[in-house]
Structure 1
Amino acid sequence: MAPSYRRYAPQLRSQDDLRISSLRSSTSVAGRPPYIVATLLNFGRGATSVYRRYAPQLRSGGDLRIRAGAVRVRRVPVADGRAIRLTPAGVDKGGAVFYTLFKNAIFRPIIKYLYGARVEGEQHIPTAGGVILASNHLDAGDTVVLPAMIRRQVTFPAKAELFQGNRGPFSKLVAWFLRAVGQVPLDRSGGRASLDGLAPVLEVLARGGCVGIYPEGTRSPDGRLYKGKTGVARMALAAEVPIVPVAMKNSQVTRKAGLPWIDHPVVVIGEPLDFSRYYGRVDDPRTLRWVTDQVMAAIHDLSGQTYVEAYGTSVKSGSLTPTEADARILSRPGVNTKEPELPPA
Structure 2
Amino acid sequence: MLYRLTKIVSAPFLHLLWPTEVTGAEHVPASGPAILASNHLSVLDSTFLPLVLTRQVRFVAKAEYFTGNPVTAAWMRATGQIPIDRQSPTAAQDMLDAAAGVLREGGLFGIYPEGTRSPDGRLYRGKVGVAWLALATGAPVVPIAMSGTDKVLPIGASTPRLGRVGVRIGKPMTFTGSESSARDRRRVADEIMAAIHELSGQEYVPRYAPGRTETG
Q: Partner residue of 2:203?
A: 306
* Structure 2: segments with no counterpart, 5+ residues: none
1:245 aligned counterpart, secondary structure = strand
Q: Which residue of 2 aligns with 1:270?
A: 170
Code of the residue aligned with 1:286 in structure 2: it is: R
SS at match of 2:210: helix
Q: 1:124 to 1:197 in 2, by over 3 A?
A: closer
Cα displacement (A) at 1:179: 2.4
C-alpha separation between the residues in 1 aligned to 2:25 and 2:168?
8
Contact 2:40 2:114 in 1 (8 A): yes
8 A Cα contact 1:248 1:303, kept in partner: yes
1:212 equivalent in structure 2: 110
Distance across 1 between alignment mates of 2:129 and 2:87: 12
Conserved? CA contact 1:248–1:267, under 8 Å: yes
User: Where in structure 1 do 4 or more consecutive aligned residues deviate above 6 Å?
Assistant: none
Supply the distance in 2 between the matched residues of 1:190 and 1:290 (Cα, whole angstroms).
Answer: 28
CA pair 186-230 structure 1, distance change in 2 beyond 3 A = farther
The structure with the largest alpha-carbon Rg is: 1
Does the CA-based 8 Å contact 1:187-1:194 persist in structure 2?
Answer: no
The yes-or-no answer on 1:290 pairing with 2:168 is: no
Is residue 20–residue 164 contact of structure 2 (8 Å, CA) maintained in 1? yes
Q: Tell whether the 8 Å contact from 1:187 to 1:198 is kept in structure 2 after alignment.
A: no
**Alpha-carbon distance, 1:178 to partner:** 1.7
Matches of 1:241 and 1:314, distance apart in 2: 29
Alignment of structure 1 residues 12-51 onto 2, 5 Å: none
Q: Secondary structure at the match of 1:222?
A: coil
Higher mean displacement: 231-240 or 211-220: 231-240
Report the counterpart of residue 23 of structure 2 in structure 1: 120
| TM-score, normalised relative to structure 1 | 0.56
Question: Matches of residues 143-222 of structure 1 in structure 2 within 5 Å?
Answer: 143-163=46-66, 165=67, 168=68, 170=69, 172-188=70-86, 192-222=90-120
Superposed CA RMSD in Å reads 2.2
SS of the aligned residue for 2:35 comes to strand
Structure with a larger share of its residues in helix = 2
Name the CA shift for 1:174/1:114 in 2 (closer, same or farther; >3 Å): closer
Where in structure 1 are there 5+ consecutive unaligned residues?
Answer: 1-96, 316-345
Distance 2:85 2:92 in 1: 5
1:141-177 deviation per Cα after TM superposition (whole angstroms, max 9, x unaligned):
21111111111111011124433x1xx5x1x443343
Q: Is the 8 A contact 2:42 2:153 kept in 1?
A: no
| 2:119 alignment partner AA | P
For 1:282 and 1:118, the matched residues in 2 are separated by 35
| 1:190 shift after superposition | 7.8
**Bigger shift: 262-271 or 173-182?**
173-182
State the distance in 2 between where 1:190 and 1:225 align.
27
- Deviation readout 1:174-219 (Å, 9 max, x if unpaired): 3343223211134545865522442222111111100111100111
Residues 111, 193 of structure 1: alpha-carbon distance in 2 compared, 3 angstrom cutoff: closer
Which residue of structure 2 aligns with residue 86 of structure 1? none
Query: What residue identity is the alignment partner of 2:160?
Result: P
Residues in 1 aligned to 2:129 and 2:72: alpha-carbon distance in whole angstroms: 25
> Is the contact made by 2:84 and 2:91 (CA closer than 8 Å) also made in structure 1?
no
Partners of 2:44 and 2:153 within 8 A in 1: no
Say which structure, 1 or 2, has more relative contact order (CA 8 Å, 6+ apart). 2
1:109 aligns with 2:12: yes
Give me the identity figure in percent. 46
Asked if 1 retains the 8 angstrom alpha-carbon contact of 2:60 and 2:84, the reply is yes
How far apart in 1 are the matches of 2:110 and 2:131?
13
Judged with a 3 Å threshold, the aligned counterparts in structure 2 of structure 1 residues 187 and 228 are, in CA distance, closer, same or farther, namely: farther
Secondary structure, counterpart of 2:126 in structure 1: coil
Q: Is the 8 A contact 1:254 1:262 kept in 2?
A: no
Counterparts of 1:221 and 1:237, CA distance in 2 = 29
Q: CA deviation at 1:112?
A: 2.3
